[in-house]
Structure 1
Amino acid sequence: MSELLPLSWLVQASTYNLKIGERTVITTVTDREAIAISSISALRSELKTPDPFVGIDVVNNGDLLLFHVKNRCLIIQFNRMMLLDRLTDIPSPLNEFLGDKSITFIGPRNLCQNSTESYISGSSGQKLVLNRIVDVGYLTGKLCKKPDLLSSTLEELLGRVGIDIKKPVISEGSMRPDWQSSSVLSEEEVKYAMYEVHSCYQIASKLITDATSATATKDAG
């Protein structure tokens, strides 16, 4: 039904200011192409540093496609967007963003294991190929020079780098059936959906900051 509302209303309705740990994350949740494209542009504007990186995740085979940069998170309700906007092709800005070789995409292990596969929109049959994603466990193991981290859980990786992000506790039966494909998500559902992408981004940010500081100190010495 969002296709019946003016975009100006939807922009306001799509924005969540979520407190996760010590950080407030400005999160956009949308099933409209125009808002998704403008939000991708906003994320790109944050990628002005050398060797930019983006947190990425996929929930429920494309119901939700998540990107995280600094204090911003974009959650595209991908399957709904393809259906509601009657798209016959993946929006070019989205394909270009995912294909930008200057950006390193960092995601959870389960996503990276499937990174050679296509995430298919069940409603339209369109394929979104994700094949350039770095496993956050590999990144942590590589930069920390700790092979045991290659098989660590996300929670173990957070602990290893000293980041305190609590996984949302969901009691049995408290989540709506098929909430991932719903037209409206609660704040609790959004927090649950973005836990992994937020954690991956924060881990990468901490690792890269520490590595850069160590290099600068070594050079100064």
Structure 2
Amino acid sequence: MPSVLADVAGLGPYFSVGTGPAADDERPVADLHRDPQPLRERIAHVRGALGGDERVAASLAFQGLAAQLVSPPYAAAVLHGVVPALTPADLRWRRTADGGWALRSGTTRCVPELAPLLDDLLGPLVAAVRAQVPVSERLLWGNAASTVAAAKRLVTVQRPASAARAAEVARAVLTAGPLAGAGEFLPARAPDRVWTFRRRSCCLYYRVPGGGLCGDCVLGDGPASPAARPPR
């Protein structure tokens, strides 16, 4: 499993999960569901970095963390046919010098399916964010769906031979559980292959000073640019 995670980490920072020795300041992702302080600080960090009000910061903080949680197991499923057991109890996080978060896992196990794993990772996090900031549940699940579509795009661009498999896995996830109905599948527009995803909600990035509409936003006329990627 470490070799799988090392391979997908090469796709970019959102796909990175460390597998080395544990750090003293690591905490399980599951702690985020019980202790409000780290998420509160994460939201404040994003607000300070990008501007906008608290709802905007909460939305984009969630989206950035969701991308880190979704992208590694998704890429592993596409490229290696396995789903690492990156459960909330196993997956650990720590703050980095730039204010972002780094993830690490010591798992050697796999789980049978990707969609239930993502539900376990994201469902409690949606509730934890909403317990602090009155942001729409539909909006947050739309953000999660957007991260799946963005991961598909990035995997396909860097590993073109995987395009069909990437689309198959992403569609399965986007039509299951709380992600079902979060968006629609449109004819592919470059750099997408097979299909392009447009969400049915808005992450509020347009309310960031100097921001605009993300490529998959419901308020736009279809993807013309990648979705926003908030600070890690």
* TM-score under structure 2 length normalisation: 0.34
Larger fraction in helix: 2
Higher strand share: 1
Name the larger-Rg structure.
Answer: 1
